[in-house]
């Protein structure tokens, strides 16, 4: 097992991170040692509840920790105001006070909703993240972002609320279906694209074990991959917790990705949508002179190697994609914002060392149409 601490500035906040296998007993030990609260609420979804909630609850109760499990229906469609209110009402009905600890057990949706609940319940209670999906382990479970979706877009309501600890149990990835597992790897390889050639190379050198969860070396290799991924985000959020500049690089591929995800009515998984977004934005960088065709092809080939589509769905019009990018929370002065790479592991820097740039809508529309032609030739 590996253990390290993320330090958040300017506040002296710390987040303990544990990466390994069979960590549920370690979670109980940690809660006994840290004494974060007197009552523990395990928030999960209906699917993860059947897989892991009972085991975690038993581990806590064996340590004489008071705990209860609250769940909601799985899926992005339930990452909303109604779910948050339902969970809060259940907690209030149980008479839980400020000595409550929220434990988020599940994927990105659970982590976002449970983290949001923890940030506002009694004006804020401690939160522990126990991510069980690739995307949550690689990205969404740490860094402090919480949120829910609304009619107008993803994550438009939320807070920054850092978890006290994150427990990344590699074994939980073995129960994911292949589609969800591969989609989550997009956020991992994204970290390689933006800031770690070492991660990118490690992925390609060990792709056989990473893509085959039955491989003998799987747990060992995946643990190392997750550590490399963690190190990228750790370095970024320690320098720029509130996303003033540097942290924006973590949104690479997400401007187009979020638009495609929303236009699919969330039938496309987040990772698949972001994979298309990365391919499109890498293509744009090569055409606009911010990157090269070789860097674009390297990213596109990596995503396709993972079995991910890079083609924009035909049913989505270019104009709808352009319009939807304006609903993204990163948009500035009515224009969509983008991150571009000048090399694998290096983002392009713009005026005043900014890592992002806005594009006129006409330029974006032209780039999208040119990208679509790549698949018709």
Q: Which of 123, 214, 315, 333 is catalytic?
A: 123
Active site residue 349: no
- 324 phi and psi angles, rounded to 5 deg: -70, -30
Q: Respond yes or no: is residue 187 known to be catalytic.
A: yes
Of the candidates 241, 251, 281, 300, the residue annotated as catalytic is 251
DSSP 3-state of 199: helix
Determine contact, residues 334/322, Cβ cutoff 8 Å. no
Distance CA 61, CA 202 (A): 40
Of 258, 262, 300, 348, which residue is the catalytic one? 258
Catalytic residue among 49, 155, 161, 187: 187
Catalytic residue, candidates 84, 254, 262, 300: 254
- The one catalytic residue in 40, 59, 164, 247 is 247
User: Is 251 tagged catalytic?
Assistant: yes
Give the sign of the dihedral formed by CA 59, CA 62, CA 67, CA 72.
positive
- In angstroms, rounded to a whole number, what is the distance separating the alpha carbons of residues 299 and 288? 17
Q: Is 258 a catalytic residue?
A: yes
Active site residue 247: yes
Q: Which one is catalytic: 233, 234, 248, 262?
A: 233
49 is catalytic: no
Say whether 183 is catalytic: no
Three-state SS sequence of the chain: CEEEEEEECCCCEEEEEEEECCCHHHHHHHHHHHCCCCEEEEEEEHHHHHHHHHHHHHHHHHCCCEEEEEEECCCHHHCCHHHHHHHHHHHHHCCCCCCEEEEEEECHHHHHHHHHHHHHHHHCCCEEEEECCHHHHHHHCCCCECCEEECCEEEEECCECCCCEEEEEHHHHHHCCHHHHHHHHHHHHHHHHHHCHHHHHHHHHCHHHHCCCCCCCHHHHHHHHHHHHHHHHHHHHHHCCCCCCHHHHHHCCHHHHHHHHHHCCCCCCHHHHHHHHHHHHHHHHHHHCCCCHHHHHHHHHHHHHCCCCCCCCCCCCHHHHHHHHCCCCCCECCECEECCEEECCEECCCHHHCCCEECCHHHHHHHHHHHHHCCCC
User: Choosing from 145, 161, 190, 262, which is the catalytic residue?
Assistant: 145
DSSP label at residue 290: S
Query: 124, 146 in Cβ contact below 8 A?
Result: no
User: Of 190, 234, 270, 300, which one is the catalytic site residue?
Assistant: 270
Catalytic residue among 49, 76, 241, 243: 243
What residues are labeled active site?
A: 123, 145, 187, 233, 243, 247, 251, 254, 258, 270
């Amino acid at each position: 097992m590996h253990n390290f601490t993320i330090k958040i500035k300017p506040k002296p906040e710390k987040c303990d991170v544990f990466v390994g296998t069979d960590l549920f007993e370690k979670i109980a030990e940690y809660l006994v040692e840290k004494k974060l609260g007197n009552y523990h609420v395990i928030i999960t979804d209906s699917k993860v509840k059947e897989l892991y909630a009972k085991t975690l609850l038993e581990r806590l109760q064996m340590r004489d920790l008071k705990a209860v499990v609250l769940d909601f229906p799985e899926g992005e469609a339930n990452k909303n105001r109604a779910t948050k209110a339902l969970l809060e009402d259940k907690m209030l009905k149980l008479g839980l006070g400020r000595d409550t600890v929220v434990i988020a057990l599940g994927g990105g949706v659970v982590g976002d909703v449970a983290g949001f609940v923890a940030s506002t319940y009694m004006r804020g209670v401690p939160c522990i993240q126990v991510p069980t999906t690739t995307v949550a382990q690689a990205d969404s479970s740490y860094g402090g972002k919480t949120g829910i979706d609304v009619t107008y877009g993803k994550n438009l309501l939320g807070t920054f609320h850092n978890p006290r600890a994150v427990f990344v149990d590699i074994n939980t990835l073995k129960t994911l279906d292949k589609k969800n597992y591969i989609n989550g790897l997009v956020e991992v390889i994204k970290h390689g694209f933006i800031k770690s050639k070492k991660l990118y190379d490690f992925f390609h050198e060990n792709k056989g074990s990473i893509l085959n969860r039955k491989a003998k070396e799987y747990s060992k290799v995946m643990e190392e991959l997750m550590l490399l991924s963690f190190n990228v985000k750790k370095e970024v959020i320690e320098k720029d917790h509130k996303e003033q500049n540097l942290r924006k690089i973590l949104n690479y591929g997400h401007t187009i990705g979020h638009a495609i995800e929303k236009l699919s009515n969330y039938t496309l998984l987040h990772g698949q949508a972001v994979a298309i977004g990365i391919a499109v934005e890498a293509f744009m960088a090569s055409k606009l002179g911010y990157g090269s065709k070789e860097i674009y092809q390297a990213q596109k080939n990596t995503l396709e190697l993972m079995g991910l589509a890079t083609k924009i769905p035909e049913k989505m019009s270019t104009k709808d994609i352009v319009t939807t990018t304006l609903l993204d929370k990163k948009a500035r002065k009515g224009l969509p914002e983008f991150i571009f790479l000048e090399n694998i592991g290096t983002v392009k820097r713009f005026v005043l060392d900014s890592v992002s740039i806005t594009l006129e809508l006409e330029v974006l529309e032209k780039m999208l149409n040119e990208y679509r032609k790549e698949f018709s030739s």
